[in-house]
Amino acid sequence: MFTNAIVRTPGSNFDAGLTTVDFGRPDLALVLEQHRLYCQALTACGLALTTLEADLRFPDSTFVEDAAILTPRGAILTRPGAPSREGEVVAIRPAILNFFPAPLTIHAPGTVDGGDICEAEDHFFIGLSHRTNEEGARQLAAHLAGLGYTSSTVDVRPMTSILHLKSGIAYIGGNTLVVMEEMAQNPQFRNFNLISVSAEESYGANCVRVNDRVLAAAGFPRLTAELSARGFDPLVLDMSEFQKMDGGLSCLSLRF
Ligand code: CIR
C-alpha cells in the first residue's frame, strides 16, 4: 500500500520540454486540468500529496518520476540522462529528504531515469535506454542489492517507439505485468501473468497500480476491459497533453 505521492505542477513553459513525437503543442490550460484530475485520482486512491511548485528552470520537471526511485527500503536519487533534466534532482532533493533522510545517489558517468525502473515486488527491472546507461544500471543494481532487492536489465535501446522501459511495461500486482506485445516474449517475463497490449494501444501499457486501483490512460478500451476482466479496477484518466511530451501516467508522480 502507498500512503504518499510527490507531484510537481506543470510550468507555463511545459511545452518547451523534450519530445520525440509530433502530436502537436500541448494546450497549457488542458495540461493543468489533466494534472489536477491526476492529483485528484491519487487522493481518491488514499494518498497524501506533496505538491511542489512549478519549476520554470526545468520544463520537464512535472515528470518527477525520473529524478528518484523510492522503495519501501530506501530512496535513490537518479542522474537523468537528458542534460536539460540533470538539475531536477537537486530541485526535488529537499522534498525527498522529508521522507527518506539518507538517499543513495547515482554518479557520473552513470545515468538513470526513474522511468526505466520497474519494481515487481522484490525484483527490479532496469531498462537500458537512451537515458539509462550501463554504468548507471550497474550502480543502481548495486544499491538495490544493498537494500536486499534483486534486479536485471532489459535493453530497450533497439525499440524506437518507447522512451523508457516503463513506457512499455507496468507491474500492477498479483504477479501481473502489462506489457507491449513487442516485448511480451522476453524470457524475463515468463513467470508473470501477462496482459499483452496491442501495437494500437501501446501507449496504454504505462499504467500504474495505486492501492486498490489501476490508473489507466483514456482511449484504450481493450486494455481497460482486460484489466477489469482480470479483476483489477481501472481508473481512467485523459493523458493527451502529457503524451505530446512523451510522458505517461507513471512519470507524473513518485509514489511510496
Ligand atoms: C522527457 O523526454 O524526458 C520528458 N519529456 C518525458 C519524460 C517521461 N517520463 C517518464 O516516462 N518516466
34 Cα–ligand 1 center, Å: 16
Q: How far is CA 35 from CA 17, 140, 205, 231, in A?
A: 16, 30, 19, 27
Question: Which ligand 1 atom is nearest residue 113's CA?
Answer: 12
Q: Tell me the pairing of strands 234-237 and 213-217.
A: parallel
Ligand 1 contact, 246 CB (< 6 A): yes
pLDDT tens digits for range 69-100: 999 999 999 999 999 999 999 999 999 999 99
Residues counted in the chain: 256
Ligand 1 contact, 66 CB (< 6 A): yes
Q: How far is CA 63 from CA 8, 11, 54, 161, 222, in A?
A: 8, 11, 11, 19, 26
Question: Is 164 a catalytic site residue?
Answer: yes
246 Cα–ligand 1 center, Å: 6
Mean pLDDT (10-residue bins), the chain, 256 residues:
98 97 96 98 98 98 98 98 98 98 98 98 98 98 98 97 96 98 96 97 98 98 98 98 97 98
pTM value?
0.97
Is the CB of residue 252 less than 8 Å from the CB of residue 241?
Answer: no
247 Cα–ligand 1 center, Å: 5
Ligand 1 contact, 248 CB (< 6 A): yes
